[in-house]
Amino acid sequence: MDREKLIVPNQIGYLILKEDGAVLESGGDLKNDERSANVIMGLLNLTESIDESFMPYSSCERITIDYEQHYYSICMSNRRIYIVKISKSHNGITTTTSSSSSNSVYNDASDSGAVLA
């Protein structure tokens, strides 16, 4: 992985997307990973469709998809979508989180079942 593209400690991959989902840059585990970009864009589109009466005045600033060994952090800035895959392992020691979920699945009508892992 290019050291100059490291965004956060323990980063093992990244994607930078345009607002329409086109991949601008990528590296590490997410190098040229169009499938993950499409799954994440579907997730972002889903968050935009939440009924305002259900969650008034809420705007998503960051999405985290949590797995046992790693997690994805997704945020938007300057009309770009930044996706970072981060290892939970620090010097070979895996940290734990309070999340009980070890597998996150996103489904939409155009995809029978996509899993980010």
Q: Say what the pTM is.
A: 0.69
Structural domain boundaries in the chain: 12-87
Can you tell me the distance from the alpha carbon of 85 to that of 99, in angstroms, rounded to the nearest whole number? 17
Q: Where are the alpha helices (DSSP H) in the chain?
A: 34-48
What is 12-87's CATH number? 3.30.450.30
Does position 100 have pLDDT exceeding 50, yes or no?
Answer: no
Query: Which residues partner with 83 through β-bridges?
Result: 15, 74
- Over residues 30-43, mean pLDDT: 94
Does position 39 have pLDDT exceeding 90, yes or no?
Answer: yes
Nearest to 61 by CA among 86, 85, 44, 36: 44
Can you tell me the distance from the alpha carbon of 37 to that of 21, in angstroms, rounded to the nearest whole number? 7
**Which has the minimum average pLDDT: 32-41, 49-58, 73-82?**
49-58
Q: What percent of the chain has pLDDT over 70?
A: 63
Nearest to 23 by CA among 37, 35, 11: 37
Residues 6 or more apart whose CB falls under 8 angstroms from that of 90 comprise 10
